[in-house]
Chains A and B, each alone.
Chain A
Amino acid sequence: MTTLQTIYEPSITFDFRHSLDANRLKGLWKMMVDYRVPYVVATVSLAFSALAKTGTYLLLRFFADEVLTRRRFIGETLFSTFVWIALGFVGLAVVEGCFSFLSGRLAAFTAEGITRRLRDFLFDHIQRLSFSYHATTPTGDLIERVTSDVDALRRFFSEQAIGVGRIVLLFVINFTAILNLNVELALVSVVVIPLILLVSLWFFKKVTKAYEAYQAQEAVLSTTLQENLTGVRVVKAFARQDYEKDKFEKDNWGKFLKGKLLLFMHSMFWPLSDIVLGFQMLFGFVYGALMAIASEITPGTYLAYVGLVVWLIWPIRNLGRIIVSTSTGMVSYGRLMDVVRQQREPLHDGRHHPQGPLRGDLKFDNVSFIYSDGKTEVLQNVTFHARPGQAIALLGSTGSGKTSLVNLLPRFHEYTSGSILLDGLELKEYSRAYLRSQIGIVEQEPFLFSRSIRENITYGVGREVSQQEVERAAIAAAVHEVIASFPDGYLTLVGEKGVTLSGGQKQRVAIARTLLKDPRILILDDSTSSVDTETEAEIREALTELMKDRTTFIIAHRIQSVMGADTILVLDKGRVVQMGTHADLIQDDLGMYRRIYDIQTRIDEELQREIARVD
């Protein structure tokens, strides 16, 4: 299944880099390509739905004035008129319902459609961002953006933008309808509307702040709770239960008070706006009734007015809430565009796309690498030659540049000067995709995905792999027996829902994965300090198998693991301070290698002494 999927390019239907715009509203509009028509239709449908509702009240007017008062019939009799009118009501309701459904469906179509392709795009985009972007951006921050911010945009399209449209349309249509009934009546019905709109805008801004404070207090409470529960041993060991209860009480009470304030605000706003809007309505009713009595309008007109004015006045109160909430969508747009704006690392650039595998001949010539801050020189003038099939060991303390050096090979980072010739051609001219298909990396604590062990082993092979092949790789990596001992064997899930593998086991799964991939160049983080002696021997054997016929770079931490290498590079502060075979380097009494070697020897001697002392 995996392989079938790799054959096709993923279809990212929309490139959100086209929706970058300094004006956030414009940017949101650009995001809507392909969905503009449905969304506009959704809005227009709202208008039709509102019109149908208005029609209901106008029909009522017709019924009262024409049929009941003026005795104008449709068809022959009064009864047939009633049937027609009844059908009219049902018909209008059906029209209203259909349009309202159409509008809801199209708005959902737009919002969900945009969200889906936004998620697809972000997922694809982020994994193609440079290695240094990922190294400097906390996962939590990215997660926050691709979840909460995406959801805020979804709500912008599904609720907020259309919500504003709905209320405005209801207002315009019903206001026009009342204007047509009677201009004077229409004008007296909207006296307080501007006021209530302003007040509700002001109120919802305030209440949003109070709500944020309430949420912040909830977060404080959660932290207290979380720390208490995870630190239960400390709490018990110091017998601090009462102290903890007091602390929680303080936070809990604080939240209660903040909640109370929030509710007080709501309990003031709603009845006060009820009073204002209620009296506005009543004013209209009385005004209209007096006009009807004075025969300036017909009773039917009054009837229609009473029905229509409700849709004019009450929704306005919510307009403030929705307008205030749209700011969330705007902020989220900005936060997402920060990610979208990032430069991708092109996978398929470069002039060389060899058909076959590499030979694995690497020539470093005066290679330097300055970190993206422009100051930190991570590597300086590194020069050496690795012939196909050779093993190159890199020795040096933490921060000496070992990892940075090997990171240049798959073009995770780009060297800033000098040249690296791979099979005689400049490394930068190979596409990343090709390089990475030819390079295998086995880390000290490899990252495994929460899928089955089989999928982890075949991850990245890019072709159909038979079970025999998988097992052969696992056997060579000395991990088959461990896997076979799980109840679900190779289908056992790794991680939370499945088994937790030890560091050594993970490493061997990664070795199996790399064996299947069969790369020409191998990067090996050879630190076995965290595993016990028995596994160390097994891993060593598996590694020897893996290194056969490949150009191998070993990031080493101890002399034992570099002694067999064809060339040893001793690194210090980004420079190669010594180079040669073990036999060469050991000769140089003043060299760093010799110092490291001496220390290692001394450690062994000390241990022997220590043991001898107790005897």
Chain B
Amino acid sequence: MSDELIELEEEEYTSQLTAPVLRRIMGLLKPHSIWVFGFFVTIALVSGLDAYFTYLNKQIIDQGIALQDRERVFEIAAIYGTFILFQAGAVFTFIYLAGVLGERIQYDLRKLLFNHLQDLSLSYYAQNAVGRLIARVTSDTGRVSDLLTWGIVDTTWALMNIISSTVFMAIINWRLALIVLTIIPVMVVIAIEFRKRILAEFRVSRRTNSKITGAFNENFQGVRVVKALGREDSNTREFQSLTTMMYRASYRAAWLSALFLPTVQVIAAIALGMLVGYGGLQIEAGLMTIGGIQAFVSYLTFMMWPVQDLARVYAEMQHSIASAERIFNLADTPPEVHDRPGAVPASTLLGEIEFDHVDFHYEDRKPVLTDFTLEVKPGEMIALVGPTGGGKSTIVNLLCRFYEPRQGQIRIHGRDYTDFTLESIHSKIGIVLQTPHLFSGTVRENIRYGRLEASNEEVEQAAKVAGAHDFIVTLEKGYEHNVGEGGNLLSVGQKQLISLARAVLARPELFIMDEATSSVDTLTESLIQRGMEALMKGRTSFVIAHRLSTIRRADRILVIENGKITEKGTHSELLKLKGHYYRLYTQQFRHELETRYGFADAVGLPETADQPQPLPAD
């Protein structure tokens, strides 16, 4: 599922307000209570002053103009001016405090989640798509911090605005204030109803939008098929049904929004009409002034903004709380694989490694390994071969202690490996993955990932051992060359060489490699082979093998099928059996030689066009 869809799906999930979650959300503010207090007070001040300014205007009319008192006008102006300055100070304070606090909460939450994710086990990653986790760390934290800062700001401003306006209206004329008070609830209800409908349309339009993007994407990627099958017209017609759906939803959302304010305004105007009618009579009775009428008109006209704000915050709050729930959920998940109490550092991994009747499954009732037993002598090289899904990766995952056996034991040097600390095991393992993973940054930084304190010479030495040095120096900036996001600026073969160098630098005692199935050119291939050889010397190694040369070199080959070892032995022993291994081997043999002579294309890289391509640097 695409990240966009994940986000949409999660956004649409709203939470029922629950007190404990809400308390916990508010708990996030605790360390920053002074900041919260600061912006709470200042926004209240800003809002109250807005209402007061309207009141001062009334005073100018009633006490200045009506009484022909110039002095009074200047006095009021002086107060007015002072408060403008005050208000500006308060505006500065609340924007700064709420804004920076929002950034700070987001920073804290992201840090909390990221750090916790580092400790979570691979099983958690297997169950949660990366897109989902990213949404958790980015958009969910944003939504929660918005609620805690701007949500509070808007609510405070709106409530304070309504309250202080009402108070000033009551001071001016409490009978008229009562009229206004009756319409506020009506306005709020209408606002919420509008919000709900607009949001519903908005969601339809967002979902349709993601379908539209999907349709575009597919049509671009499959354009060859579209053209070959002459599907242009019907594809456009199908697409038009999507844009029509989109048009309906977004047009409706837009005109509903356009209807909302006028509706509220008309309601306010009805109240205004009542005010003027009734207020006129009050003036006649001497209970009301012209300035008072002016003030009431002002208060009423600007009443719709806080109402609109309250409706918005209310609508968004449910989504923010759902976000918070997901955040807490992640933060509360304990890591499945962790150090046992009293775990000691493993002194070395260069000892006998035993799988003793190991059972393993990722999901209940779907066994992956059953009763798996294996003994490996220090320094031995084991090649794992067999079909996809047979259990090869699981063996490696268990060996690295990314997962632990459900039944049975894995022993290193005769001792259950769960007696050792994770860190001590991991720091002695070197691993090269099937699809090499690099990080953005320079070549040097990527190699140094293997041992952070390594000197530049050591990095280059490791690159030489791994056979990566030669191509690195041909790169434009050599070791300082930027590899791009995920290493995208390099070819697959180059990435493999760098990840080999990284493993070399780590000086592991146990080396694990998942060979790439996709071919690289012959030169790189032989470099990789040589690098591997160098790495395996004097180390125990496990290789999920696809290459003949690797397989042939292994001390022992295990054919893994359905979670069991079906054949084991040396290359020649297994060939003689004429079983699974024999078939695998002959197929791979043909394929490799055909590739070498240039007749077959690299597996997994279908030929799409013969147009000239720039030669990769290796």
Point out the residues of chain A lying under 8 angstroms from B607, CB to CB: 398, 402-403, 444, 525, 527, 555
Does chain A have a CB within 8 A of B27? no
The contact string, 1 if C-beta is below 8 Å from chain A, for chain B 1-30, is 110000000000000000000000000000
Stretch at the interface among B368-376, B533-541, B587-595: B587-595
Does B117 count as interface, using CB distance less than 8 angstroms?
A: yes
Please name all residues of chain A whose beta carbon is closer than 8 Å to the beta carbon of B433 when the two chains form the complex. Answer: 233-234
Task: Report B-chain residues with C-beta under 8 Å of the C-beta of A289.
Answer: 60-61, 64-65, 73
- State how many angstroms separate the Cβ of B442 from the closest Cβ of chain A: 14
The residue on B at minimum CB distance from A94 is B266
Query: A229-B125, A610-B589 are contacts. A268–B92 as well, Cβ < 8 Å?
Result: yes
- Asked if A10 and B294 make an inter-chain contact with CB atoms under 8 angstroms apart, the answer reads no
Residues in A whose Cβ lies below 8 Å from that of B586: 607, 611
B273-A131 in contact (CB<8A): no
Partner of A529, one of B224, B259, B430, B591: B591
Does any Cβ of B come within 8 Å of A231's Cβ? yes
Say yes or no: is A113 at the interface (Cβ < 8 Å to chain B).
Answer: yes
When distances are taken between beta carbons in the complex, the residues of chain A under 8 Å from B246 are 116, 119
Set A68, A115, A398, A527: member contacting B280, Cβ < 8 A: A68
Quick one: CB contact mask for B479-513 with A, threshold 8 Å, 1 for yes? Answer: 00000011000000000000100100010000010
Q: Which 10 A-B residue pairings sit nearest by Cβ, starting from the closest?
A: A104-B258, A460-B229, A93-B269, A97-B262, A108-B254, A263-B99, A86-B273, A614-B572, A271-B88, A259-B103
Question: CB-nearest residue of chain B relative to A608?
Answer: B586
| Residues A90 and B610 in contact, CB atoms below 8 Å apart | no
Contact in complex: A67, B280 (CB < 8 Å): yes
Determine if A445 and B606 form an interchain contact, defined as CB atoms under 8 angstroms apart. Answer: yes
User: Is A124 among interface residues, defined by CB-CB distance under 8 A?
Assistant: yes
Given A86-B273, A97-B262, A307-B298 in contact, is the A274-B88 Cβ separation under 8 Å?
A: yes
Interface of B is mostly: helix
Chain A residues with CB below 8 A from B250, complex form:
108, 112, 115
- Among B217, B281, B430, chain A packs the most CB atoms within 10 A around the CB of B217
Contact B118 A244 (CB under 8 A): yes
Interface contact A443-B606, CB-CB below 8 Å = yes
Judge whether A263 and B95 touch: CB under 8 Å. yes
Q: Say yes or no for B474: interface residue by CB 8 A criterion.
A: no
Specify which of B114, B233, B234, B601 is in contact with A248 (CB 8 Å cutoff).
B114
Q: How many residues of B contact A (CB 8 A)?
A: 159
B423 within 8 A of A: yes
Which residues from A are CB-within-8-Å of B591?
529
Q: Is B575 an interface residue (CB 8 A)?
A: yes
Question: Range of interface residues on chain A?
Answer: 35 or more
Closest to B60 in A: A289
Contacts A96-B265, A139-B217, A231-B437 given; does A260 touch B612 at CB 8 Å:
no
Tell me whether A274 and B91 are in contact (CB under 8 A): yes
20 contacts between A and B (CB under 8 A): A63-B276, A97-B263, A112-B254, A115-B247, A143-B217, A143-B220, A222-B134, A237-B430, A259-B102, A267-B91, A267-B92, A293-B70, A403-B610, A412-B224, A449-B222, A459-B229, A460-B228, A532-B587, A600-B599, A615-B575
| Cβ proximity bits B590-616 to A, threshold 8 Å, 1 near / 0 not | 110110011111011011111110000
Question: When each residue 238-250 of chain B gets 1 if its CB lies under 8 Å from chain A and 0 otherwise, what string results?
Answer: 1110011011001
- In the complex, what residue of chain A is closest to B228 when comparing beta carbons? A441
- Determine if A266 is an interface residue (Cβ-Cβ < 8 Å): yes
Interface residue? A128 (CB, 8 A): yes
Nearest CB of A to B308, in Å: 14
Q: Is B37 located at the chain interface by the 8 A CB criterion?
A: no
B229/A402 in contact, CB under 8 A? no
Asked if A567 is at the interface of the complex by the 8 Å CB criterion, the answer is: no
Q: CB-CB < 8 A to B118: which residues of A?
A: 228, 235, 241, 244-245
- Cα A289 to Cα B66 in complex, Å, equals 10
The answer for the CA separation of A218 and B134 in the assembled complex, in Å, is 12
Query: Is A223 an interface position by the 8 A CB rule?
Result: yes
Chain A min CB distance to B146 (Å): 12
CB within 8 Å of B: which A3-58 residues? 5-6, 8-12, 56
**A550 sits at the interface (CB 8 A):** no
Could you tell me if A267 and B96 are in contact, using CB atoms closer than 8 angstroms? yes
Q: Which of B73, B230, B294, B606 contacts A444 (CB 8 A)?
A: B606
Interchain CB contact under 8 A, A116 and B244: yes
Q: Is the CB of A236 within 8 A of B402?
A: yes
Q: A224-B440, A238-B426, A293-B65 are in contact. List 7 more A-B contacts (CB 8 A).
A: A10-B236, A79-B281, A100-B262, A101-B258, A525-B606, A557-B601, A558-B600
Q: How many Å lie between the Cα of A532 and that of B506 in the bound state? A: 38
C-alpha gap A135/B415 in the complex (Å): 58
Docked-complex contact B608 and A403, CB < 8 angstroms: yes
Q: How far is the CA of A113 from the CA of B243 in the complex (A)?
A: 10
The answer to whether B334 has its CB under 8 Å from any CB of chain A is no
With A10-B236, A260-B103, A274-B91 known as contacts, the answer to whether A603 contacts B593 (CB < 8 A) is yes
A270→B587 CA distance, assembly (Å): 73
Is A347 at the interface (CB under 8 A from chain B)?
Answer: yes
Verify A603–B230 contact, CB threshold 8 A.
no
For residues 87 through 103 of chain B, which have their beta carbon under 8 Å from a beta carbon of chain A? Answer: 87-89, 91-93, 95-96, 99-100, 102-103
Nearest residue in B to A273 (C-beta to C-beta)?
B88
Report the Cα distance A258→B324, complex, angstroms: 24
Q: In the complex, which residue of chain A has the Cβ closest to the Cβ of B589?
A: A607
A398/B217 in contact, CB under 8 A: no
CB of A139 within 8 A of CB of B280, answer no
In the assembled complex, B159 has its CB within 8 A of some CB on chain A: no
Contact for A64 among B92, B290, B427, B610, CB less than 8 A: B290
Q: Are A108 and B426 closer than 8 Å at their CB atoms?
A: no
Task: Verify B601–A527 contact, CB threshold 8 A.
Answer: yes
Question: When the two chains form their complex, are residues A237 and B111 in contact, meaning their CB atoms are under 8 A apart?
Answer: no
Determine whether the beta carbon of A5 is less than 8 Å from that of B61: no
Distance in angstroms from A104 CB to nearest chain B CB is: 2
Interface string of A116-128 (1 = CB under 8 A from B): 1001100110111
B587 proximity list for chain A (CB < 8 A): 532-533
Give Cα distance in the complex from A412 to B224, angstroms.
9
Q: Does B225 contact A (CB under 8 A)?
A: yes
Q: Which of B348-393 contact A (CB under 8 A)?
A: none
User: Knowing A143-B220, A236-B426 touch, does A410 contact B228 (C-beta < 8 A)?
Assistant: yes
The reply to whether B599 and A267 form a contact with Cβ atoms under 8 Å apart is no
Minimum Cβ distance to chain A for residue B65 (Å): 4
| Docked-complex contact A89 and B77, CB < 8 angstroms | no
Q: How far is the CA of A146 from the CA of B216 in the complex (A)?
A: 8
Instruction: Give the residue among A108, A266, A497 with the most B Cβ atoms within 10 A.
Output: A108
Given known A63-B280, A108-B251, contact A292–B65 (CB-CB < 8 A): yes
**Nearest B residue (CB) for A102:** B258
Interface centre among A221, A243, A263, A371 (most CB of B within 10 A): A263
Q: What 1/0 flags go to B421-455 for Cβ under 8 Å of A?
A: 01100110111010001011000000001101000
One of A194-202, A278-286, A359-367, A414-422 contacting the partner: A278-286
Interface centre among B235, B266, B499 (most CB of A within 10 A): B235
CA distance A395 to B214 in the complex (A): 37
Which chain A residue lies CB-closest to B252?
A108
Q: Are A158 and B254 in contact (CB under 8 A)?
A: yes
Residue A433 lies at the interface, judged by CB distance under 8 Å to chain B = yes
Q: Name A10's contact: one of B237, B281, B293, B583 (CB within 8 Å).
A: B237
A436 CB–B CB distance under 8 Å: yes
